[in-house]
Each structure stands twice: as C-alpha cells, then as structure tokens.
Amino acid sequence: MTSSDTSRNSQPVLRDFCLSVAFLLAITGRPIDSAAGELKAAVAANFSGVANHLGVAFNSATGHRVRFSFGSTGQLYAKIVQGAPFDVFLSADQARAQAAVDEGWAISGSQFTYATGRIVLYSRIPGLRLDAESLRTAPLQQIAIANPITAPYGAAAVQVMRALGVLERFEDKLVRGVNITQTYQFVATGNAEIGFVALSQVSRESSGSRWIVPHKFHRAIAQDAVLLVGGSSNAAARDFLAFLRGSEAQELVEQHGYGTKG
C-alpha cells in the first residue's frame, strides 16, 4: 500500500472522528474535558437537597464529579481536623469556616458566603397555629431541634426560644437531632409534633403547618465555604467553588429556600 493509499484510507476515519466531536459539543454545550476530575466536599446537612442538584449542574458544565459527605457542621469540622480527605468545606455557619482558615486547615482568602439560611417552626399537621404566641401559650409538647453545639440551625432554634422567653418552658420537651436532617425526620415521622427545621427542607412541601421565624429572633445563618488545604492543588475543587459563586448555582440555591447575598 502506498503512502497516498494510506492517506486516502485515513481521511474517512478522521472525518468520522471530527463529526463525533462536533456531535458531542452540540449535545453537551461544552468541549470534551480530558482533564475532568473529582472532588470530595464536606457539606452541612441542611444543604443536602440543593447540593445534589448543584452536583449534577456542575458535572454538566465542567465534566468534574463531586462526592458529597453530609453531616452536622461540628461533626464535619471534627473529621477535617482528624485528617479526612476533603477538598472543600461547605459549613452551615461562618465560625467554623473561619476556624478552618485560622487553624491552617483551609486556604486563606478562599472563604465566602454561598447561602443564607432561614429557620422554620414546622409540623406535618395541617392547620396548626404556629407562631410566637403559640409557643408561649399552647399546651406543652415535644419540640425537635438540631444539636445546638454542633449544628448552627440548632443554635438558632435555642436563640429563638430564648428571645421568646420559652426556652425553660420547653427544656424538658426538647428532642435533639444529631443534625438538621434527623431533626426534620423526627417531625416528618410524627416522633415530635413540631420542630425547628431549615426552610429549604419544607420550601417545596404543600402540606403541614409552618412559621418562618423572623430574622429579629436569631442571628443570621450565613453559610460559608472554604477551599481546604487538601484541595488546594485540585482544579476540580477550585472550579466547584467558582461555580458556587455563579448565577446558575445561585438560582438553584434560591429555588431551595436560601438567600445568596452574604
């Protein structure tokens, strides 16, 4: 076979390859990323619903894959300190994200607010009156909160009850979840009639009763993200944090009951 024959035979193969690439570009809207990577993200439990949607959108936009580990902020921070191989940390507060920077676990300058949370008093029972006055006067019942030591939403629940003067009233009736996910499950299954949960957990539910607690009763729940030292050389980790700042991610975050203005 002559060199000219080889050249002619290779032309259809090259043409088919180029057509395949063009087709992939057309259906995905992005180039094939031979350097697509993976990152491990430690994420506050309250953010689990939207995080999974963000992971899909991020993969579609970049080709990178995110592996999420969910838990209370305090538990996740303890794992980071113990050397867990996370690349990024999405805290449910600002304090532990800042501590990660101050204590050398996260990269200085990487911290930013990715969401602001709202706390809700919720019951699966429809038509139930839930507000400040009902907490003061209604018959005592079990009330679920997240662990206030490890979960920022639990700390916010305590702040609300203290501000309303009912903390002592409910002290013996508190059912504490290890994180906000378990707290919601207590209420959703009827193990507690009412509970303080994240608005994001009930924002798409049409049943039940709820009271969105006014900001004046608790400190703002600003949720910060940081790039951990272990992820400093991981391009996928840096890209994920950049994606979180973008309009597509912010729209998803807002659709799930969060604010995005730090």
pLDDT, tens only, 16-46: 544 443 443 433 444 444 468 999 999 999 9
pLDDT, tens only, 118-135: 999 999 999 999 999 999
Nearest to 209 by CA among 147, 160, 138, 258: 138
The third-level CATH classification (topology) of the domain covering 119-212 is: D-Maltodextrin-Binding Protein; domain 2 (3.40.190)
Identify whether the C-beta of residue 221 lies closer than 8 Å to the C-beta of residue 158: no
Which DSSP symbol is given to 148? Answer: T
Mapped onto helix, strand or coil, the DSSP state of residue 212 is strand
Mapped onto helix, strand or coil, the DSSP state of residue 15 is helix
84: left (phi over 0), alpha (psi -120 to 50) or beta: beta
Return the number of other C-beta atoms located less than 10 Å from residue 174's C-beta: 18
The pTM (predicted TM-score) of the whole model is: 0.79
Residue 193's identity, in one-letter code, is E
Decide if domain 38-116+221-255 falls under CATH 3.90.180.10: no
Sign of the four-CA dihedral 9, 13, 19, 25? negative
| Burial profile 1-36: b = 16 or more Cβ within 10 angstroms, e = fewer | eeeeeeeeeeeeeeeeeeeeeeeeeeeeeeeeeeee
pLDDT, tens only, 230-256: 999 999 999 999 999 999 999 999 999
CATH code 3.40.190.10 region(s) in the chain: 38-116+221-255, 119-212
**pLDDT value at 52 more than 60:** yes
- Which tokens hold the place of 42? 């430690």
